[in-house]
Amino acid sequence: MPSRTVTVGSASGLHARPAALFVAAAAAEPVPVTIRVGDRRAVPARSMLSVLSLGAKCGTEVVLEAEGEGADDALDALADLLARDLDADAPPATAPAGTGDG
């Protein structure tokens, strides 16, 4: 089965914004792609909850797998996305304001 091994490049890991971008990209591919960390169970790349559950951090090595027509193209596109730092253009976090009294 075609596969790609890639290191997560996003500073915050495969969480939040990077995970959302990755899941959306996987869902747009014509073939189902799976993702796993090491020997652990492979999960569907288009499942936000499953991808988050991997707990992949920046620098974690993940394996993408797919089968069928277009599998190689899909894997290349998703591997390329994962290797990038998807946090780089993230918006700044907003700080909550508190109220107190005298």
Told to check if 19 binds another protein by CB under 8 A, we report: yes
- Give the binding range for another protein (CB under 8 A) out of 3-11, 17-25, 61-69, 73-81: 17-25
For residues 16 and 76, is the Cβ–Cβ distance under 8 A? no
Q: Quickly list H helices, the chain.
A: 16-28, 48-53, 71-83
For residues 62 and 8, is the Cβ–Cβ distance under 8 A? yes
Residue 40, token pair as written in the block: 């652990």
Q: How far apart are CA 17 and CA 25, in angstroms?
A: 12
Residue 22, token pair as written in the block: 């990755």
- Site size toward another protein, by CB under 8 A: 30
Told to check if 98 binds another protein by CB under 8 A, we report: yes
Active site residue 15: yes
Given 7, 28, 30, 53, the residue binding another protein (CB under 8 A) = 53
Active site residues: 15
> Under the rule (CB under 8 A), what is the footprint of another protein?
12-13, 15-17, 19-20, 23-24, 43-44, 46-50, 52-55, 91-94, 96, 98-102
